[in-house]
Amino acid sequence: MSAITPTKKPVGWSVDGQGRRRRVYDAPKTPFQRLLEAGVLSHTQERMLRAQYAKLNPVELTRDIVRYQDMLITKARWKTEVLTAEVADAQKSRRKRQAGGVKIHSA
């Protein structure tokens, strides 16, 4: 997802009219765009990267991410319910053991 999400990068500082320092950012670009602009790729690498980028489908990626998150939540829910039940049982048995206290018998 980060390959297709444009982000701003800090490029320096400026001082506003009141003397406060503020960050200066460049125009938002995707990592794909930044890599192409850097000019560090060979022609073959650039062609392969462009082909891979063309295959990306943001809707499908989002759908897959949501599906995997749901799967993880489902697995965590089951484990959480088991642990919650174990803790509740342990607390009940602890309360039974601590129920003693001082007993006063009337004469």
Average pLDDT of every residue of the chain: 89
What pTM value is reported for the model? Answer: 0.55
- Answer yes or no: is 104 within a domain: no
Q: Which pLDDT belongs to residue 103?
A: 66
Shared domain for 45 and 10, answered yes or no, is yes
Q: Look at phi and psi of residue 70 and say left if phi exceeds 0, alpha if psi is from -120 to 50, else beta.
A: alpha
Question: What range defines the domain where residue 9 resides?
Answer: 1-56
8 plus 43 within the same structural domain = yes
Q: For 32-80, what is each residue's pLDDT tens digit?
A: 999 999 999 999 999 999 999 999 998 999 999 999 999 999 999 988 9
User: Which candidate, 57, 56, 32, 29, places its Cα nearest to that of 45?
Assistant: 32
Q: Are residues 40 and 72 in the same domain?
A: no
Place of tokens 């200066």: 24
**Does 67 share its domain with 41?**
no
Sole residue written with tokens 């980028």: 53
